[in-house]
Each structure stands twice: as C-alpha cells, then as structure tokens.
A and B are shown apart, each in its own frame.
Chain A
C-alpha cells in the first residue's frame, strides 16, 4: 500500500469533524473520496498532509483553540502523522489544495518554480517544467502573467501543474472541478486521467460523483466525518440507500 490511514480522528474544540476514518490507496490507483459539502473531505486530506497538525500549533498559540488529532498515517511504509507538512512533501505526497490557491501576485512561471522549490538540479526543474507545459500548454503561453488574473479553469491548471513540479508519487487533488464551467470541468477531468496515465497515483476529492465514479477504481463515500460506503462506482450506484441518501442521485 502506498497510503494507509487508520483510525483518523480530528476534533476541533468539541466538534468531532473526522470520526475514526480508515482508508487505503495502492500504487497506480485512482481513488476518490466523495461526499457533500462539510462532510470532512478537506479536513481528511489536511490531516494526511500535515496541515491540521500545523494549524493545531498555530491555533494553540493564538486563540488557545484546541485541535485533537489521532490515528496513524503510513505513506510508503513510513509513519508520517508526526512529520511536519513541509517535510511530508519531500516524500512525494503532494496536496493540491481546495480553491486552487495560486500565489496570486506571482507569475505563472514563479508559481511553478515554487512547486519545484525542493529541487536543486536545474536540468530536472527544466524537464519537469517542459512536462507541465506539455500537459497544460495554456500555462506556457501565460508564463509571464500574474496568476491572480487567470480564469478559474486556468488557475486550476496552474494548481495542478504546480503540484507536478516536484516528483509526485501520490497526488491528492481537492475539488478541482468545483466552481468551473461544464466544459472546463471535463477538461480538468481529462487532464487528471492523463496524469494517471503518466504513472502517478491519484487521490481525487470531489462532489461531482457521476464523472468521478467512472474514473476511479475505488471510491470512499464520506458523510459527517465517517466513511459510510466504499467500493467501485457501479456497486455504490447499485445500492439504493447509498444512492438516494448519500449521493443524492
């Protein structure tokens, strides 16, 4: 297994946001984590990639807010739940954040270079840059543009491109299609298929179940911080209760 999460629990003050969650991603898979708004999808990802632990430190010092984080996260055979976020990246566990979050005042090229921050070898940076440009030609033509002025779809391409600049082994993408026009959505999903074709394992977080179920080999359905169903899309859709209650289809 590339990623194994066991008994993950996140409590903000007294609100239990993630409740004893376990999930696995095997190398080469495209796995999805779906669920309605507020289900806890982003929090799950943030816990895996070290951002909840980081937030916990900051909150403890500022508002005295209390965050409880429990459970085991194993990536490529190593326990990472106590590794700081900036070191988790080094292992190739890459987090492409919700709402894209480009460095808005930086140019497209500077954003991509930020993604390659951990690389020191110029030729490797250059070859990764060329790969990203091949995947997203629009980023090449917009290289000098300030990223805050890009359209939503272009910002999503940039966010994904930035995530590909440093040796990704497991790429976790949080709601890439949200807020995009339908044409842009299918374009983004096509690119994710292409990325998987490059041999990169993908954990895809989405609300748009219909498309995602066709792409993913397995899916986890999250509701109120609990995994309530798991399996291939066809199986989940065949289950009347899951389909009506949790997927709203």
Chain B
C-alpha cells in the first residue's frame, strides 16, 4: 500500500507540477490567468488518441506530433483571443474560461463524449526494492522528471530563461536591458503549452479520455498555484507534490474514500492559506514590475 501511495503520489505530483509550472510561468511573465490551460492538456490527449487509434501512427510519433500541434493551437489562441485584450485582466479571465469551454464542446461534438483510452506504451513490470512497479509508471515518471529538469535548465541557465525571469519581475526594466517583452511573453506561452502537452501525453495511457477531463486537474492546478504562491515556479513545484501525495494517500489509504481525495487536498490548501495568506513561496506583490 505504501508503495502504491508513493508511486501514485509521484505521478500525480508530477502531472500537477507540469501543469502548475506552465500556468505560473504565464501568470508571472504576463499576469495572464489562463483558465484554459488544462484544456490544452486535454487537447493534446485527444490528439494523441486520434493519431494513434485513428491514423495508426506509432505512439512516440503521435505524442511528439500532438505536442507540436497543441503548441501551435495554443499560440494561435494567444494571438487571436488573448493578446488583443492582454492588459484587461478580467477580460482575459473570462476569455480563457470561454476558450476552455469551447475546447470541451468541440471534443463533445467530435467524439460524442465517449470515454476512450489508449493502451500503455510499456508493458510488464520491474521489481524495485522488492516491490512490483509497472514499467508504464516508471516511464511516465522518467518523462515527467526529465521535462521538469529541462524546464529548470531553460529558466535558470539560459539567456532566454534569464529574459523570461527579468520580464516577470520588472517588464519596464527588462525593456531597458534590450529584452523584447512581447517576445518573452510569446516564449513563455510556448513553454507553458508544451508543458501542458507533456502532461497530457503522460496521462493518456493512464486515464480515460473524455471531454470533461480538463476540469478536475484545473481545480487541483489552481489549488497548487495558490498553495505554492501565485507566480512562484518553485512554490508550484513543491505544492504539486504536497497535493499529489495527499490525493494518493487518501485515495489508497482510506477505504472507499477515493471520493474524498479532492476535498482533503483542498482543505490542506485552505489551512495553509489561513496561516500564510501569500502561499508557501509567495512574494508580496510589488507595485512596480
């Protein structure tokens, strides 16, 4: 049981981390609250399904193509619907809610709300420390960890990452360094959607695909972001695993209790916020950016 909690906690946490870090990134750089974020995760999952089941592509090819296509869709959505109203926070919020619902309705029309699944890429299991671990789970964890490491490297160790972080902290001064704020925001959008796409690719073989699958992770992702501290990538990372493990522990540890997993996780968030309103790694917002 403990092993199951650890594996499921790690997987849940990694998926939330992939989602929440992307969400935090756009919020930090452009102050955009993107409610449609998990809709891109769903879109990628559906695209993989189409590529694999309908078009007969190999799984890796279907995944890579789908992430690429999702990113292009994300960029188009940003340019068409979000960029023109970027400075109006309330309008952005409403526009992204609408965008998420459009995605949901499109999937409902196209796939009639059937629940669908894709077979796992890896079969069998290995014994780790006397415990059976499915190869698929190991693969998923490996991909998630590599993606998170690559994101960390991009943000912390590259010139592009520095420009993104500078823009997030003070866009006016970023301008004075010769950074093109519009371009940095575009890059942040790309990174963010790619991360959502990877999260989608990871869940495809693990869960059923249906047009409402974007909602539960949306709520958990928002909880993670608030718990970690709005705009803090590090906070999102830590909070993802806290809530991921909590969910796994309740779902597996409490008999018949899996319906409770969301509420327990959200209760933890509320308790932390009562003690630390700015979240675990939150920074009090400064007037000037």
Residues of A within 8 A of B (CB): 49-51, 54, 58, 61-62, 84-87, 89-90, 94-95, 97, 101, 103-106, 110, 113-115, 117-118, 162, 166
Q: Is the CB of B163 within 8 A of A117?
A: yes
- Give the distance to chain A from B33, nearest Cβ to Cβ, in Å: 16
Task: Let me know if B181 is at the binding interface, CB within 8 A.
Answer: yes
Q: Is the CB of A106 within 8 A of B179?
A: no
Name the residue of chain B whose CB is nearest to the CB of A115: B177
A114/B162 contact (C-beta < 8 A), A49-B176, A58-B87, A101-B288 known: yes
CB 8 Å contact bits of B167-187 with A (1 = contact, 0 = none): 001101111111111000000
Q: Is the CB of A89 within 8 A of B166?
A: no
Q: Is the CB of B86 within 8 A of A61?
A: yes
Contact with B178, one of A58, A101, A113, A166 (Cβ below 8 angstroms) = A166
Q: Is the CB of B159 within 8 A of A54?
A: no
Q: Which residues of B contact A95 (CB under 8 A)?
A: 176
**Size of interface on B: residues with Cβ below 8 Å to A:** 23
CB pairs A–B below 8 angstroms (20 shown): A49-B176, A50-B175, A51-B175, A54-B172, A85-B176, A86-B175, A86-B176, A86-B179, A86-B180, A86-B181, A97-B173, A97-B176, A104-B169, A114-B163, A117-B162, A117-B163, A117-B178, A117-B179, A118-B177, A166-B178
Q: Which residues of A contact B172 (CB under 8 A)?
A: 51, 54, 97, 101
Contact with B169, one of A51, A105, A117, A166 (Cβ below 8 angstroms) = A105
Q: In whole angstroms, how far apart are the Cα atoms of A89 and B175 in the complex?
A: 9
Q: Which residues of A contact B159 (CB under 8 A)?
A: 117
Q: In whole angstroms, how far apart are the Cα atoms of A118 and B180 in the complex?
A: 11
A101/B86 contact (C-beta < 8 A), A86-B178, A95-B176 known: no
Q: In whole angstroms, how far apart are the Cα atoms of A104 and B168 in the complex?
A: 11
Task: Let me know if B137 is at the binding interface, CB within 8 A.
Answer: no
Name the residue of chain B whose CB is nearest to the CB of A106: B165
Q: Is the CB of A101 within 8 A of B177?
A: no
Q: Which residues of B contact A97 (CB under 8 A)?
A: 172-173, 176
Residues of B within 8 A of A (CB): 86-88, 159, 162-163, 165-166, 169-170, 172-181, 283, 286, 288
Name the residue of chain B whose CB is nearest to the CB of A96: B176
Q: In whole angstroms, how far apart are the Cα atoms of A95 and B172 in the complex?
A: 11
Name the residue of chain B whose CB is nearest to the CB of A60: B87
Q: Is the CB of B176 within 8 A of A89?
A: yes
A113/B162 contact (C-beta < 8 A), A62-B87, A62-B88, A106-B169 known: yes
- Give the distance to chain B from A34, nearest Cβ to Cβ, in Å: 22
Q: In whole angstroms, how far apart are the Cα atoms of A51 and B288 in the complex?
A: 14
Q: In whole angstroms, how far apart are the Cα atoms of A166 and B166 in the complex?
A: 16
Q: In whole angstroms, how far apart are the Cα atoms of A166 and B159 in the complex?
A: 15
Q: Which residues of B contact A166 (CB under 8 A)?
A: 177-178
Given contacts A95-B176, A118-B177, 7 further A-B contacts (CB under 8 A): A50-B175, A62-B87, A85-B176, A103-B165, A106-B166, A113-B162, A117-B159
**Which of B159, B177, B178, B180 is most buried by chain A, counting CB atoms within 10 A of its CB?**
B177
Name the residue of chain B whose CB is nearest to the CB of A104: B169
